[in-house]
Amino acid sequence: MFRLIATLAVAGVVAACAQPGPTGPMSAKPMPPAGGPMAPGPMAAPAAPPPPPVTPPAAQVFRQAPLPYAADALEPVIDKATMEIHHGRHHKAYYDALNNAAASSPEVARSSVEQLVATASRQTLVVRNNAGGAWNHAFFWNIMAPVGQGGAPSPALMARVQADFGSMDNLMRQFNQAGASRFGSGWAWLIVRDGKLAVTSTPNQDNPLMDLAEVRGTPILGNDVWEHAYYLKYQNRRADYLAAWWQVVNWNEVNRRFAASAAAGPATAR
């Protein structure tokens, strides 16, 4: 009986010592002498209840999702520092600006990012740019995956690629050309339009879902050609970034989006 109590007492002390205390590092607390009497008091106290969940500020109606993988998951094609800055600062800044706009506009506050994008021609330039930036990057993270983990184009997608481009090589060439020739900052896109695939590009944070886009359609693939997307690793060599980027395309997600756009019918591509 004594051995059982002693074992429980030691276990209790060990468990209590494993909890970081509110008063500072564990080393600041005196340990009871080994084999001594069980010390009642703070060391044996039950663990504090977990803190309540943090309530976000009321004005924060648009929330940025975390990256769907670790920041270094796309190495060596996209380096960790670029991903951390791109997601943690650039993408976050679009959400912050959108939330600022929502704080002074009830219409913005009750809209989704998708609704703001679809009605870009009626929005302020601030809302257009930042809703676009929020949507484009959320899309971008999800259509990428670590090298070797993105799967391959589905037979249905490959059939459409061959019908509309002749080959995947031709599609990639056109897409890279669209990205390379976009002067300044913008995006290259592969879209579904009237049931067919097309390559297009947009300036700034515009996208093909916007009612003001020159070429409208449903994006199933897109690449960010802002310098912040590649400059740390590729400097001014945008073409090298565009060529390497295909290694991190998440074809499983592209296939899913292609199938969804086909199921929705051509009306959504207008």
| Residues found in the chain | 270
**Cβ-closest residue to Mn ion?**
224
Query: Which residues from 81-110 bind Mn ion, rule CB under 5 A?
Result: none
Is residue 224 at the binding interface for Mn ion, with CB under 5 A as the rule?
A: yes
Is residue 226 at the binding interface for Mn ion, with CB under 5 A as the rule?
A: yes
Closest to Mn ion by CB, 224 or 253:
224
Closest to Mn ion by CB, 82 or 200:
82
Q: How far is the CB of 177 from Mn ion (least distance, A)?
A: 20
Structure tokens at 206: 């515009």
Q: How far is the CB of 19 from Mn ion (least distance, A)?
A: 42
- The answer to whether the beta carbons of residues 222 and 189 sit under 8 Å apart is yes
Handedness of CA 104, 108, 112, 118 (dihedral sign): negative
DSSP 256: H
Cis ω before 76 (30° cut-off from 0): yes
Distance of alpha carbon 102 from alpha carbon 111, whole angstroms:
9
- Contact window for Mn ion (CB under 5 A) among 115-123, 203-211, 219-227, 246-254: 219-227
Is residue 253 at the binding interface for Mn ion, with CB under 5 A as the rule?
A: no
Q: What is the dihedral of CA 130, 132, 138, 143, to 10 degrees?
A: -150
Closest to Mn ion by CB, 12 or 88:
88
Closest to Mn ion by CB, 139 or 226:
226
- Cα 88 from chain centre: 10
- The answer to whether the beta carbons of residues 174 and 250 sit under 8 Å apart is no
Query: Which residues from 22-81 bind Mn ion, rule CB under 5 A?
Result: none
Q: How far is the CB of 140 from Mn ion (least distance, A)?
A: 7
Q: How far is the CB of 65 from Mn ion (least distance, A)?
A: 15
Q: How far is the CB of 86 from Mn ion (least distance, A)?
A: 6
Closest to Mn ion by CB, 246 or 268:
246
Is residue 135 at the binding interface for Mn ion, with CB under 5 A as the rule?
A: no
- Cβ partners under 8 Å of residue 205, min gap 6: 94, 128, 129, 130, 132, 133, 136, 187
Rule CB under 5 A: which residues touch Mn ion? 224, 226
